[in-house]
């Protein structure tokens, strides 16, 4: 079941399912009535994506029922920078299975729709994807302007901050601790572990993208907590149209979003982006 709702409007359908769009808000839109967004005059588009956009690619969340770590919940405890300091193999144990899953995953219609939009609007509008995912599927789909808030699991880097070596593409699944060829210290996946901050350059790129943003979409991520809650506020401040696409409604509702589409990203995005 898929629907969307528009903030500030009401119709008879809302009274039958008001909780779906937040208390007292929204016009219920069934999937069949999801119409393409109008890109006329839109010069800058920013899309924030989260785990929900990659579910159709076979990538499960880390935690919770059906999660990658469901059988080994202790892995969540070692997926931190603090754990890596005392046990450099910890990130590899925590994310080895995730890297294997990422290697087997393919971009789905939601990733492809965003890449298509960027190519289609080239010359008239920029499309920046800010992703919380580490799977690299946006780039594999063809998106060129991608800001990785949490790094990339198919890259490896040295754990020594003073080392001169650069992160490198890496699909290996190490059993023994891999060591840096430059300084001899432990290598680690080039991702942001759970207690680590978003890289400064990624934050800066996101802020730059949001300047003069005309259209902001949050896809497959919570609309009520950071980073979506912060980014949508910035976009709203810039006067952008703001759109939420996710499998579940926001609880509580975030009024900074003007349009809401509840359902599968791989079904909604191709229609919404006019494919
Ligand atoms: Zn090194």
Question: pLDDT of 103-150, one tens digit each?
Answer: 999 999 999 999 999 999 999 999 999 999 999 999 999 999 999 999
Task: Pinpoint the alpha helices (H) of the chain.
Answer: 12-16, 74-78, 81-86, 90-104, 109-120, 137-141, 200-210, 228-237, 265-272
Percent of the chain with pLDDT over 90: 77
Write out the residues surrounding ion ligand 1, Cβ under 5 A: 158, 160, 163, 165, 180, 182-183
Q: Where are the domains of the chain?
A: 1-58+107-150+197-275, 60-104+157-191
Whether the CB-CB separation of 229 and 223 falls below 8 Å is answered with yes
CA of 78 to the centre of ligand 1 (A): 22
Q: Does domain 1-58+107-150+197-275 have CATH number 3.40.50.1220?
A: yes
pLDDT tens per residue across span 249-264: 999 999 999 999 999 9
Whether the CB-CB separation of 219 and 191 falls below 8 Å is answered with no
CA of 85 to the centre of ligand 1 (A): 15
Report how far Cα 35 is from the mean position of its chain's Cα atoms: 23
CA of 185 to the centre of ligand 1 (A): 6
CA of 179 to the centre of ligand 1 (A): 8
Alpha carbon distance, N-terminus to C-terminus of the chain: 21
| Active-site residue, from 72, 111, 138, 150 | 150
Cis peptide before 68 (omega within 30 of 0): no
Cis peptide before 122 (omega within 30 of 0): no
How high is the mean pLDDT of the chain? Answer: 88
Tallying the residues shown for the chain, one arrives at: 275
- Give catalytic status of residue 150 as yes or no: yes
CA of 81 to the centre of ligand 1 (A): 17
CATH code for 60-104+157-191?
3.30.1600.10
């Amino acid at each position: 079941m898929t629907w969307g709702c528009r903030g500030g409007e009401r119709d008879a359908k809302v009274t039958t399912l008001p909780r779906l769009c937040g208390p007292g808000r929204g016009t219920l839109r069934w999937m069949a009535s999801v119409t393409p967004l109008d890109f006329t005059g839109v010069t800058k588009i920013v899309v924030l994506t989260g785990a929900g956009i990659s579910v159709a690619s076979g990538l499960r969340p880390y935690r919770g029922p059906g999660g990658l770590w469901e059988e080994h919940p202790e892995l969540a405890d070692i997926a931190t920078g603090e754990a890596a300091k005392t046990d450099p193999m910890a990130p590899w144990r925590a994310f080895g299975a995730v890297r294997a899953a990422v290697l087997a995953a393919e971009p789905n219609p939601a990733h492809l729709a965003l890449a298509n939009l960027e190519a289609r609007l080239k010359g008239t509008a920029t499309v920046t994807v800010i992703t919380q995912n580490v799977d690299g599927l946006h780039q594999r789909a063809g998106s060129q302007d991608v800001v990785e808030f949490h790094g990339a699991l198919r890259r490896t880097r040295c754990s020594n901050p003073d080392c001169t070596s650069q992160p490198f593409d890496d699909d290996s699944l190490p059993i023994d601790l891999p060591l840096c060829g430059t300084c001899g210290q432990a290598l680690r996946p080039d991702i942001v572990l759970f207690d680590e901050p978003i890289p400064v350059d990624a934050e800066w790129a996101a802020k730059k993208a949001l300047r003069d943003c005309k259209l902001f979409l949050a896809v497959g991520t919570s609309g009520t907590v950071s980073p979506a809650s912060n980014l949508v506020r910035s976009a709203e401040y810039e006067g952008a149209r703001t759109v939420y696409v996710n499998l579940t409604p926001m609880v509580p509702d975030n009024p900074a979003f003007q349009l809401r589409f509840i359902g599968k990203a791989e079904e909604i995005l191709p229609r919404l982006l006019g494919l």
